[in-house]
Chain A
Amino acid sequence: MEEKQILDFVHRVSHDETLCKEVINNPDHVIMRENFSPRVAQIITRLIPHLAANQLEPLTPSLKFWF
Chain B
Amino acid sequence: MNCDTHPSLNLFAAYQRMLRKRLRYFLSDLHPLLYADVVSALQEKGKLLSRSHRKVANTTFAPPSGIWSLLTLLIALLISPQHNLLLISSVSVAVEFFICALDLLDDIEDEDQTRIVRDLGPARVLNVSTTLLALAQRAILSLSQLEVAPELITRLLNTLQEVTLTATTGQHRDIQAEQRPVQDLTYEECIEIATQKAGSLTSLACRLGALCAGANDDVCQQFSELGKLLGIAHQLDNDCHDLYYLLHREDAITLSTNTEKNTRTKTDLVRGKKTLPIVLAAKVENTFQETSQSENKEQKEAYLQSLDEGILASWSICLLYRERARDCLQEIETRHSVSPALRLLLGFT
Contact (Cβ within 8 A) B323 A10: no
Contact (Cβ within 8 A) B284 A11: yes
B interface size (C-beta, 8 A) = 38
Interface residues on A, range: 20 to 34
Separation in Å of the B274 CB from the closest CB of chain A?
16
Question: A residues within 8 A CB of B308?
Answer: 55-56
Q: B320 an interface residue at 8 Å Cβ cutoff?
A: yes
Q: B108 an interface residue at 8 Å Cβ cutoff?
A: no
Q: A6 an interface residue at 8 Å Cβ cutoff?
A: yes
Contact (Cβ within 8 A) B320 A2: yes
Contact (Cβ within 8 A) B187 A63: no
Question: B residues within 8 A CB of A63?
Answer: 233-234, 237-238, 347
Q: B241 an interface residue at 8 Å Cβ cutoff?
A: yes
Q: Mark B304-319, 1 if CB is under 8 A from A, else 0.
A: 0100110111011101
Q: Mark B226-250, 1 if CB is under 8 A from A, else 0.
A: 0000110111011011001001100
Q: Which of A1-58 contact B (CB under 8 A)?
A: 2-3, 6-7, 10-11, 14, 39-40, 42-44, 46-47, 50-51, 55-56, 58
Contact (Cβ within 8 A) A62 B237: yes
Contact (Cβ within 8 A) A6 B67: no
State A44–B230 Cα separation when bound (angstroms): 20
Query: Please, which residue of chain A has its CB at the minimum distance from the CB of B234?
Result: A66
Contact (Cβ within 8 A) B320 A10: no
State A2–B241 Cα separation when bound (angstroms): 23
Contact (Cβ within 8 A) B255 A39: no
Separation in Å of the A30 CB from the closest CB of chain B?
15
Question: B residues within 8 A CB of A14?
Answer: 284, 305, 309, 312
Question: A residues within 8 A CB of B248?
Answer: 55-56, 58
Contact (Cβ within 8 A) B320 A43: yes
Separation in Å of the A14 CB from the closest CB of chain B?
5
Question: B residues within 8 A CB of A47?
Answer: 312, 316
Contact (Cβ within 8 A) A65 B316: no
State A6–B198 Cα separation when bound (angstroms): 22
A residues near B (Cβ < 8 Å) are: 2-3, 6-7, 10-11, 14, 39-40, 42-44, 46-47, 50-51, 55-56, 58-59, 61-67
Contacts A42-B323, A43-B320, A59-B241 known; 14 new A-B pairs at CB < 8 A: A7-B280, A7-B316, A11-B309, A11-B313, A14-B309, A14-B312, A47-B316, A55-B248, A56-B248, A56-B308, A62-B241, A63-B237, A63-B238, A65-B45
B residues near A (Cβ < 8 Å) are: 45-46, 61, 63, 67, 187, 198, 202, 230-231, 233-235, 237-238, 240-241, 244, 247-248, 251, 255, 261, 280, 284, 305, 308-309, 311-313, 315-317, 319-320, 323, 347
Give me 23 A-to-B residue pairs in the complex whose CB atoms sit less than 8 angstroms apart, sorted by A's number. Answer: A3-B187, A3-B317, A3-B320, A6-B313, A10-B312, A14-B284, A39-B323, A42-B323, A43-B319, A46-B319, A47-B312, A56-B244, A56-B312, A58-B244, A59-B244, A62-B241, A63-B234, A64-B237, A65-B45, A65-B63, A66-B231, A67-B234, A67-B238
